């Protein structure tokens, strides 16, 4: 049932995997969905697929490589020029890099895409979110955060690049960001929550080795489909049960505890201030 016809949603990484599934489901629920992705052709093809089963859905596309802060600023301006408010922001884009790579801004790519894109885009769209009757921010983290530590001495992994640790650090950063953001939004009508989608058979890691990624999805036990992985995203986007709920971590549509490190307030504030500096928002 389309009961969200007046609501506007932006979802990053919405051209494949969890993001594509969530974008499709939310469009069919009546949201006006703006997909953000770095592959224009892929994005437009996904919009065609969504519209094929329901020509009346409202779906748009913003083109950006979210590892670039200039491109994040570009799409934030494009959105603000076209829309006066934003009801739902889903920070979902992410990647896993087998080898250390550097973004155009000189940041390690996992950190740039998995954390800094969430931090910068959210801050740039806060005015539009606050203009909503009930703005919701959803951050797609991962259970991998439990193995993460924020290494402030080597945040860009220049001296010791371990792909699993770097990824876990970025997912822990997602939670630290969400909790810090929720505190800063107290007294507003905007909420911020994070989630673990489960072990989802997506293309993450395919940039390193697509065959290995395909085999992982086929043989690793407990893998679920992107549609199943999007379940908690859609729940947080639509359920009246979470109206006013903020600063929480969800799995299977239920609140759970995240790691002990994710509740470290000193680490949380230090990362926020450093992220502000790296994003030029200080």
pLDDT tens readout for residues 45-59 = 999 999 998 899 999
**Residues tagged active-site:** 167
Task: Give the pLDDT of residue 129.
Answer: 98
**What's the rounded mean pLDDT across residues 69-74?**
98
* Residue with more model confidence, 225 or 100: 100
Model confidence at 140: pLDDT above 60:
yes
E strand map for the chain: 8-12, 32-37, 58-63, 88-91, 135-140, 190-196, 249-251, 254-256
Domain map (residue ranges) of the chain: 8-279
Task: Give the pLDDT of residue 87.
Answer: 98
Task: Give the pLDDT of residue 221.
Answer: 60
Backbone angles phi, psi at 258, to 5 degrees: -90, -175
Residues 6+ apart with CB under 8 A from 246: 182, 185, 186, 191, 192, 193
**What's the rounded mean pLDDT across residues 63-71?**
98
- For residues 172 and 226, the answer to whether their CB atoms sit within 8 Å is no
Model confidence at 268: pLDDT above 60:
yes
Find the DSSP H helices in 33-125.
40-53, 69-82, 109-111, 117-124
Task: Give the pLDDT of residue 282.
Answer: 75
Give DSSP secondary structure letters for 121-141. Answer: HHHHTHHHHHTSSSEEEEEE-
Task: Give the pLDDT of residue 220.
Answer: 55
- For residues 38 and 44, the answer to whether their CB atoms sit within 8 Å is no
Model confidence at 211: pLDDT above 60:
no
The rounded distance, in Å, linking the Cα atoms of 269 and 266 is: 5
**What's the rounded mean pLDDT across residues 163-188?**
97
- For residues 55 and 47, the answer to whether their CB atoms sit within 8 Å is no
Assigned token pair, 104: 């155009």
Model confidence at 218: pLDDT above 50:
no
Classify domain 8-279 by CATH architecture.
3-Layer(aba) Sandwich (3.40)
| pTM as predicted | 0.91
115-139 pLDDT, tens digit per residue, is 999 999 999 999 999 999 999 999 9
Phi-psi sector, 13: left (phi>0), alpha (psi -120 to 50), beta: left
């Amino acid at each position: 049932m389309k009961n969200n016809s007046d609501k506007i949603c932006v979802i990053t990484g919405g051209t494949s995997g969890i993001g594509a599934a969530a974008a499709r489901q939310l469009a069919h629920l009546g949201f006006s969905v703006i997909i953000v992705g770095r592959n224009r052709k892929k994005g437009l093809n996904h919009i065609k697929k969504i519209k094929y089963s329901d020509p009346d859905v409202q779906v748009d596309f913003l083109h950006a490589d979210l590892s670039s802060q200039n491109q994040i600023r570009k799409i934030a301006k494009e959105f603000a020029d076209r829309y006066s408010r934003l009801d739902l922001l889903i920070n979902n884009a992410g990647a896993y890099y087998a080898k250390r790579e550097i973004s155009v801004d000189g940041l390690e790519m996992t950190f740039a895409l998995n954390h800094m894109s969430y931090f910068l885009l959210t801050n740039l769209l806060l005015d539009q979110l606050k203009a909503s009757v009930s703005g919701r921010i959803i951050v797609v983290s991962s259970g991998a955060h439990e193995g993460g530590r924020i290494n402030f001495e080597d945040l860009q992994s220049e001296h010791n690049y371990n792909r699993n640790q770097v990824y876990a650090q970025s997912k822990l950063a997602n939670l630290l960001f969400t909790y810090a953001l929720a505190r800063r939004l107290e007294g507003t009508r905007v909420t911020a929550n994070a989630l673990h989608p489960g072990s989802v058979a997506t293309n993450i890691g395919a940039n390193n080795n697509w065959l290995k990624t395909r085999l992982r999805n086929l043989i690793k036990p407990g893998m679920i489909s992107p549609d199943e992985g999007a379940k908690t995203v859609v729940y947080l986007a639509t359920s009246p049960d979470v109206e006013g709920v903020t600063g929480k971590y969800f799995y299977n549509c239920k609140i759970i505890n995240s790691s002990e490190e994710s509740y470290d307030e000193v680490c949380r504030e230090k990362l926020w201030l450093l992220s502000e500096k790296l994003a030029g928002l200080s």
